[in-house]
Amino acid sequence: MNTTPSGSARRPRVVLYARVSTRDQSPEAQVVALREVAAQRGWHIIHEYVDMAVSGAKDRRPQLDELMRHVHRGGVNAVVVFRFDRFARSVRHLILALDEFRSRGVDFVSVNDAIDTSSATGRFTFSIIAAVAELEREILRERTKCGLEAARRRGAKIGRPKVVVDVRRAQELRAQGVSLRKAARMLNVGAATLQRALAANVESVDDLASAAE
């Protein structure tokens, strides 16, 4: 919904975002709280985005997607939310979104999380959150690496199973005029895999055809 309060020529232009996860909930409490903060800080609300009955775990949300497009179009000074979990599905999502906002000169304010990138304190709070998220990613990478190394020591094969290609049979089929795709189907391998195997083999199809003459 659009709001166009008077006397807004030089006030920061902000958009509000609220979300509820079920139809039984109402976003009104969130929206009212955001409007009150905007009034206290002298902001000009140019749009209110509300996602109804949408899970926070979903990658795509209609109103959030539209908000991001609005930010990309320009004319927005800040995005204001009730809590960051209403906005972002994870800390990583929040950090990526805030990086996008920062690159466009848009501040982010989460009313109940003490996150306000328009202030030094808020930027410091966000930097701590970002550092913790990075630490979590490093710990996860280390755990994954250790797990793979332990699996290798136990003799487990890591990665995709190796595809065995009967190159000689493939060469014979190609020499008989069978297309690459048909030969791949006959050998039960992908066409790209077969092409790579043929290219890597010492004997080419042309060599085989010459020898057969």
Q: In 3-state terms, what secondary structure has residue 80? A: strand
Query: Is-catalytic flag, 21?
Result: yes
Q: Specify the CATH number for 13-119; select among 3.40.50.1390, 2.102.10.10, 3.40.50.2000, 3.40.50.720.
A: 3.40.50.1390
Per the residue annotation, which of 6, 21, 26, 55 is the catalytic one?
Answer: 21
Residue 34 pLDDT greater than 90, yes or no: yes
pLDDT reading at 159 higher than 90: no
Please list, in sequence order, all residues whose beta carbon lies within 8 angstroms of the beta carbon of residue 79, skipping any fewer than 6 positions away.
14, 15, 17, 67, 71, 87, 101, 106, 107, 108, 109
Q: What is the pLDDT of residue 78?
A: 94
Given pLDDT bands bounded at 50, 70 and 90, which one contains residue 50? very high
Instruction: Assign 130 a pLDDT band (cuts: 50, 70, 90).
Output: low
Over range 57-86, report the average pLDDT.
Answer: 88
What does the pLDDT read at residue 4? Answer: 46
Residues facing residue 47 across a β-bridge: 15
Give the model's confidence band at 211: pLDDT under 50 very low, under 70 low, under 90 confident, else very high.
very low
Residues 190-198 have a mean pLDDT of 84
Q: Please give the pLDDT value at position 93.
A: 81
Average of per-residue pLDDT across 90-108: 85
Residue 6's pLDDT band, with cuts at 50, 70 and 90, is very low
pLDDT at 45: 96
The rounded radius of gyration (Å) of the Cα atoms in the chain is 29
Extents of the domains making up the chain: 13-119, 167-208
Report d(CA 41, CA 38) in Å as an integer: 5
pLDDT of residue 207: 44
Predicted local distance difference test score (pLDDT) of residue 9 = 55
**Both tokens assigned to 201:** 């083999």
Q: Select the more confidently predicted residue: 58 or 99.
A: 99
